[in-house]
A and B are shown apart, each in its own frame.
Chain A
Amino acid sequence: MRVNMTVNGRPYEADDVWEGESLLYVLRERLGLPGSKNACEQGECGSCTVRLDGVPVCACLVAAGQAEGCEVVTVEGLADHARQRSGQVAPLAPVQQAFIDSGAVQCGFCTPGLLVAADELLERNPDPSDADIREALSGNLCRCTGYEKILDAVRLAAARTGEAV
């Protein structure tokens, strides 16, 4: 089948998609966007988190056909997405820069999903408490960091965004 969708603001068309393919497979293997990660393909780890018409979803649990005509934002488009929201000109989204600066990235395999989830949290809650951050990121597994630096990063991104407003 053929699937059309808008990914990170650009229209994409994928041909010869087998009906059993997930949105994650189409992004990674057909559209050349491997930033969304394949850590479990069981909807448990959150490493494939993307925005589907604004809603954070596990791309591995979305059949490719369900994304027909939808707007998808992946980690590759996160900086653009944040720029459009804030009007600030920066090469990276605030959460991306904060993850680097806080030491929240080790192996980095969970990072794309966490960034999309954390950016979505800050979009709807610019000043989250620690409990809010933990709740929002509880669907994203990280095996390297013990999450402490991830909490630091989200706090830092919130603080920087707050100062910039």
Chain B
Amino acid sequence: MAADRAAGAPTTLTQATGAIRGTVGESTLRPDGTLKVTGEFAYSSDLWHEDMLWGFTLRSPYAHALIRSIDTAGALALPGVHAVMTHDDLPAGTHYGLEIRDQPVLAKDRVRYHGEPVAIVAADHPETARRAAARIAVEYEELPLVVDEATATAPDAPLLHPGRRDHHASHVPHPNIVHRQPIRRGDVATARARADVVVRRDYQVGMQDQAFLGPESGLAVPAEDGGVDLYIATQWLHVDRDQLAPVLGLPADKVRLTLSGVGGAFGAREDLSMQAHACLLALRTGKPVKIVYNRYESFFGHVHRHPAKLSYEHGATRDGTLLYVQCRIVLDGGAYASSSPAVVGNAASLSIGPYVVENVDVEAIALYSNNPPCGAMRGFGAVQACFAYEAQMDAVAAELGLDPVEFRQRNAMSQGATMPTGQLVDSPAPVAELLRRVKALPMPPERAWEAAGGPVDVRALPGGLSNTTHGEGVVRGVGYAVGIKNVGFSEGFDDYSTARIRLEVIGGEPVALVHTAMAEVGQGGVTVHAQIARTELGVDRVTLHPADTRVGSAGSTSASRQTYMTGGAVKHACEAVRAEVLRRGRELFGASHPAWAEAGRLRLADGKVVTDGGEVIGDLAGILGDGAIDLEREFRHRPTEPFDLRTGQGFGHVQYSFCAHRAVVEVDTELGLVKVVELAAAQDVGKAINPLSVVGQIHGGSTQGLGLAVMEEIVVSRDGARVRNPSFTDYLIPTILDTPAMPVEVLELADDHAPYGLRGVGEAPTLSSTPAVVAAVRAATGLRLNRVPVRPEHLTGT
């Protein structure tokens, strides 16, 4: 192996299906599937380079403290240590951040959360690096903590970021509030006076972790030109680069990023983790540096889902019409801004759910605190709101004596409805139909543990093989929920994606090379790109170039946007390539057939140019000859606009996505154990570009919602703001035993604004899953349950 090349650096993926299968709408299999099942697919933690060093990060044991001194002598004296760096060693920029650059690369004189990076070490063995870090002497002086809204806004509250000058600073009511978004529409006071039923309740959502399996990791290789090559698992290569270059003091073109294998993301790779640290150590030592977090460190290495406190008041008439919703949502953003402002925008604008309500008064805020920083996680502000508004819908239905599904359907939005932001919903919104579909599915059999007629199969019971019950005290419940999620980047963001397509003849066969910077994080974007290229160019063989910063930005693999956006860019670029094929064909062969004059009647199929009547008038090999067509194009969705800071009005979102769930649970009411028996979903996806992958997204999102409902929470101590459970021993995610059968109904109602009519899929199923499961537990137990995750003690009252 050449010393200048990292082992495991990605190579192209080529997929040929034979006879042009694998087009849009088919369940084409992944082009990286074989590599992933043989262990050959190189993830960012698998990389290796000759002469490579290992980096390690020293983190703060305190959530809020002044740093009085740092002594690195003991670490530097350890044999095998090549470099130790603190804030004082940073060569250029000292802070980074997605929207607000408020996060120190290494803490200077103050730490603001438990686990904040303070120093970094490079050594020839990971254990040496760890031991060296332990020999760095840091003197801290603890400071009072900000842990919630009361301590954040108290008269003597310490300011997390005194003197902040970001673009939200001037409109927030307190400097410890990152962003505030009200939404006002109609007249709540008048509506309240007309209401027959009013339900006012408070809710809480715990701090959820994305818990991707592939830990934060990457390899930084110093280059001869003074730049650096970073092989990295991320969600957005270009925004990483744009944050790194100022920190490294390098021009952007000397910071080259290549996507390595990514072991899941779910939002947790939107912010930088070890990227800057690895690059800094590589440039300092002149050697390649690899950093791989273990699971303990991973819990400190990325942002989490914002925990939230939500207060809701719903008013309705006796006949079941919602009159008004008033709510206040307080999200804890932790020590640094990350994507808190956008999370606030989502929480506010989606706060009442997929319902028609004329009178709305909403306030959402995110706090700065000394809790762990929170930012993006699948569902992004909409998850917290959905738990609360769906619990409210059940409570109002109960007050009215109405069936909860019927009450929802009566108030459900549909195409043509107006959001509380004033935005017209101008594409299908089949909310009532999705509910109808999940409700119509057959119910799973009762008392499955007795099904065989033989001895009790405890595996089908709450508690499972712990053998805690043979069915005594087990009660079934059924719950429903539906949610609304925005797709794409909102509020006026210039959201675009780039694709470069090269069409050429290789060995007599036309081949399309697709080059984008899209982060494939598991979702199957690579599959979809190949399908789109086949569909648009009529070729079978498609090669996918590794994602890197040598092509324009693809935007983030988040917000359910990549199939829409980078898929859209691939389609757009292919259309340009096709137009060029037809132009060249007309130039060469125009005289041979009159159809060449009417490009609109021609398409590419099976490597041929075909008329709308099915007549073949040319072939790609003949038209292209030795000349490749190589074009790069950008794709944008329609523009959005910011929400008004006072009224929240504005055309803020690109597209909406809807999913409904029915959960069936069995609860051991004596021990407080919940078994989810079935979790059925119905979702409108506009157009299923790859039905197999669509269902996989719905299954995965539903399961993460189940986790939030009954098990997942990062526990932060109130007295010290310390993370108490940074491990998979203590932070539980659903296993195959916790996860039920999940029947899925997929609707395809086209959105005319989107490529192929598609609708972003990934996030919506994460929303309604949580409230559906909790509604089912409420139905089984009769308990109010205003907090997730629901724990055994909430069910047993102990």
Chain A residues proximal to chain B, CB less than 8 Å: 18, 20-21, 28-29, 32-42, 44-45, 47, 74-76, 78-79, 92, 96-97, 99-101, 103, 105-112, 115, 131, 133-135, 137-151
Scan B616-629; emit 1 where CB is below 8 A from any A CB, else 0.
00000000000000
A113 to B605: give the CA distance in the assembly, Å. 41
Contacting pair A39 B213 (CB below 8 A)? yes
Is A101's CB under 8 angstroms from B736's CB?
no
Asked if B739 contacts A147 (CB within 8 A), the reply is: yes
List the B side residues contacting A145 at CB < 8 Å.
696, 699-700, 703
Residues 202-241 of chain B, each 1 if its beta carbon lies under 8 Å from chain A, else 0: 0000000011111100000000000000000000000000
Q: Report 10 cross-chain contacts, Cβ distance below 8 Å, ordered by A residue.
A: A40-B294, A75-B38, A75-B39, A96-B38, A134-B737, A140-B735, A144-B696, A145-B699, A145-B700, A147-B699
Question: Are A134 and B696 neighbours in the complex by a CB distance under 8 Å?
Answer: no
B493 within 8 A of A: no
Please measure, in the bound complex, the distance between the C-alpha atom of A134 and the C-alpha atom of B460, giving whole angstroms: 11
Asked if B692 is at the interface (CB within 8 A of a chain A CB), the reply is yes
Instruction: Give chain B's interface residues, CB within 8 Å of chain A.
Output: 8, 27, 29-30, 32-34, 36-43, 45-46, 48, 125, 127, 210-215, 261-266, 292, 294-296, 457, 459-460, 465, 521-524, 692-693, 695-696, 699-700, 702-704, 727-729, 733-737, 739, 741-742
A151 to chain B, nearest CB (A): 7
- Least CB distance from B11 to A in Å reads 16
- Secondary structure at chain B's binding surface: helix, strand, loop or mixed? loop
CB distance from A125 to the nearest CB of B (A): 15
Q: Are B459 and A99 in contact (CB under 8 A)?
A: no
- A135: nearest residue on chain B (CB-CB)? B459
Which of A37, A99, A115, A151 gathers the greatest number of chain B CB atoms within 10 Å?
A37
Verify B42–A18 contact, CB threshold 8 A. no
The chain B residue with its CB closest to the CB of A98 is B37
Q: A137 CA to B213 CA in the complex, in Å?
A: 16
Asked if B213 contacts A109 (CB within 8 A), the reply is yes
What residues on B are CB-neighbors of A140 within 8 Å? 735-736
CB distance from A95 to the nearest CB of B (A): 8
Question: Would A146 and B702 count as touching, CB distance under 8 A?
Answer: yes
Q: Is the CB of B524 within 8 A of A106?
A: yes
A107 touches B37 (CB 8 A): no
A39-B215, A41-B295 known; A92 vs B40 contact (CB < 8 Å): no
> How long is the Cα–Cα vector from A140 to B739 in the complex, in angstroms?
13
Closest A residue to B47 using CB positions: A34
| CB-based contact B39/A36 at 8 Å | yes
- Of A29, A107, A149, chain B has the most CB atoms within 10 Å of the CB of A107
Given contacts A107-B213, A108-B263, A135-B465, contact A141 B733 (CB under 8 A): yes
Q: Which one of B38, B263, B465, B727 lies within 8 Å of A37 (CB-CB)?
A: B263
B701–chain A nearest beta-carbon distance, Å: 8
Q: How far does the alpha carbon of A99 sit from the alpha carbon of B734 in the complex, in Å? A: 20
Contact B737 A108 (CB under 8 A): no
Q: Are A103 and B459 in contact (CB under 8 A)?
A: no
B735 / chain A contacts, CB cutoff of 8 Å? 138-141
CA distance A147 to B39 in the complex (A): 20
Which residues on the B side are within 8 Å of A106 (C-beta)?
Answer: 264, 522-524, 696, 700
Q: Contacting A103 at CB < 8 Å: which of B48, B210, B457, B695?
A: B695
The residue that B294 contacts in the complex, of A32, A41, A108, with Cβ under 8 A, is: A41
Whether the Cβ atoms of A44 and B32 lie closer than 8 Å is no
Instruction: Give A139 to B210 CA distance when docked, in angstroms.
Output: 19
Residues of B within 8 A of A139 (CB): 735
The reply to whether A35 and B523 contact each other, CB–CB distance below 8 Å, is: no
The answer to whether B736 and A109 touch across the interface, beta carbons within 8 angstroms, is no
Using A39-B214, A100-B33, A146-B699 as known contacts, list a sample of 4 further A-B pairs with CB atoms less than 8 Å apart, ordered by residue number in A. A39-B215, A143-B211, A143-B266, A149-B695
Bound-complex Cα distance A22 to B359 (A): 61
Instruction: Pick the residue among A29, A103, A109, A137 that contacts B263 (CB under 8 A).
Output: A109
In the bound complex, do residue A76 and residue B736 qualify as a contact, i.e. CB atoms below 8 Å apart?
no
Contact pick for A115, options B37, B703, B734, CB 8 Å: B37
Q: Which residues of A contact B210 (CB under 8 A)?
A: 143
- Report the separation of the CA atoms of residues A35 and B46 in the bound assembly, to the nearest whole angstrom: 8
Q: How far is the CA of A137 from the CA of B739 in the complex (A)?
A: 12
A48, chain B: closest CB distance, angstroms: 11
Across the interface, do A141 and B728 meet the contact criterion of CB distance under 8 Å? yes
CB distance B34 to A100 under 8 Å? yes
Which B residue sits closest to A93, measured CB to CB? Answer: B37
Complex Cα spacing A147 to B702, Å: 11
Contact of A146 among B30, B38, B739 (CB under 8 A): B739
Would you call A96 and B37 a contact (CB within 8 A)? yes
Cα(A37)–Cα(B261), bound, Å? 12
CA distance A156 to B183 in the complex (A): 51
A149 to B266, CA, bound (A): 19
Q: How far is the CB of A99 from chain B (nearest CB, A)?
A: 5
User: Nearest chain-A residue to B296 (Cβ)?
Assistant: A42
How many angstroms from the CA of A45 to the CA of B728 in the assembled complex?
A: 7
Cα distance A45–B212 in the bound complex, in angstroms: 11
Which residues on B sit within 8 Å (CB–CB) of A75? 37-39
B470 to chain A, nearest CB (A): 16
CB closest chain-A residue, reference B465: A135
The answer on a CB contact under 8 Å between A108 and B703 is: no
Q: Is B43 a contact partner of A40 (Cβ separation < 8 A)?
A: no
Q: Which residue of B lies closest to A106 (CB)?
A: B522
Q: Chain A's nearest CB lies how many Å from the CB of B511?
A: 23
Contact (A100, B37) CB under 8 Å given A41-B294, A146-B703, A149-B699:
yes
Q: Is the CB of B739 within 8 A of A35?
A: no
A92's closest neighbor in chain B, by CB? B37
**Interface core residue of A99, A101, A105, A146 (most chain B CB under 10 Å):** A146
- Assuming A134-B459, A143-B212, A146-B703, is B736 touching A108 (CB within 8 A)? no
Q: Which residues of A contact B41 (CB under 8 A)?
A: 108
Interface centre among B32, B37, B693 (most CB of A within 10 A): B37
Distance (whole angstroms) from the CB of B665 to the closest CB of chain A? 16
The smallest C-beta distance from A38 to any residue of chain B, in angstroms, reads 6
Query: Are the C-beta atoms of B37 and A105 separated by less than 8 Å?
Result: yes
Pick from B39, B215, B521, B736: contact of A107, CB under 8 Å = B521
Q: How far in angstroms is the closest Cβ of chain B from A22?
A: 11
Within the complex, the shortest CB–CB distance from A78 to chain B, in Å, comes to 8
Q: Which residues on the A side are within 8 Å of B524 (C-beta)? A: 106
Query: How many whole Å from A25's CB to the nearest CB in chain B?
Result: 8
B262 touches A38 (CB 8 A): no
Contact B43 A131 (CB under 8 A): no
Among A33, A34, A105, A144, max chain B CB count under 10 A is at A144
Instruction: Establish whether residues A39 and B42, one from each chain, have CB atoms under 8 Å apart when the complex forms.
Output: no
Question: Which chain A residue has the least Cβ–Cβ distance from B704?
Answer: A143
Across the interface, which residues of A come within 8 angstroms of B263, CB to CB? 37, 39, 107-109
Question: Is A108 a contact of B696 with CB atoms below 8 Å?
Answer: no
Cα distance A162–B515 in the bound complex, in angstroms:
42
Question: Do the beta carbons of A103 and B696 come within 8 Å of each other?
Answer: yes
Given A34-B46, A106-B523, A149 and B264 contact (CB-CB distance below 8 Å) = no
